[in-house]
Structure 1
């Protein structure tokens, strides 16, 4: 019993459509490879699924560019010309935009004003005033931020200085308390010792300074 004839129309169910595409894509790739081997044919295959996924095949020992160049020469149709024309049009538009932007920049620094009428000059003046206000706001915002940062740093330094002074005063008090409880030791911290001078004239002289 033969297979029933399938009506060729779009499969509405997306899941079934994707499954069918995957199965038939495998079959087409197999046929393309068989043609390359059995018939020594140069085969190029490009497919895109409904989700945009690319599947391609090119015969061994060749490239897609070589294949398209051969097709262009054989069919006498330059497949690159439309793409080249589109690139030229895009380049022209970009050049026009660049020229316009350069002129606007020149006008904002006071140049290229000869062709502007009163209305255009007023509009330019308004743009410059607006830009000036934005720059001023940014400047004052930056100054405020830097001032607040400096205040925080000064406060931190004052706290460090206060802590150091407090620590210094504590150590002075500790040293004074130690000194008052050790009067005898403190009285001998520095002492001058006088010894008879060996000079023939006799007398006394300062010999040395010693710590007790």
Structure 2
């Protein structure tokens, strides 16, 4: 009577799974050794158990598995020069499209859109992220406002210094003009008889000398038609 067919699926029982792994591992390594001897093939097998333990077999002398790995990488790189590079490019494009779709969904959620499809935990995480982002934005805004205030204060000081400098220049110019316009040290009389007081003397009203009576002698000569 033959054995029944075993369903290929994960063995849930830990002990049975470990026993099956040991038996089939030994059988696989034995088959690899037989294939290398019978067919003169170079065979390499690497096995990692569920606990992380590694098992390997290599038929190339002197059991150098690294030699087979290097040969495999060279062979794959030669094949990838043509179709492999295009396939890698298509894979990268698909990956970027997927990332872009995820970012668009996240942006809509941050704007309060398409929230019906996410769970309560996702909404709470989104709320925490938004609050953290708002705190960072406010901190940056305060830094910019502080910088603007410092710049305005510095400009205020510069304008104040310039204003004081201009005020002193105007004051000095007015003082020089006042000195140039002061009268001489002594009183003078112009051709019309106007008297100018000496600086520092008591003020006297300016007056003009006028003759009280006409020159009678000159008048008599003129009446008689005589000329001097």
* Greater RCO, CA 8 A, separation 6+: 1
Q: TM-score, normalised by structure 1?
A: 0.48
Q: Which structure has the greater CA radius of gyration? A: 2
Structure with the largest fraction of strand: 1
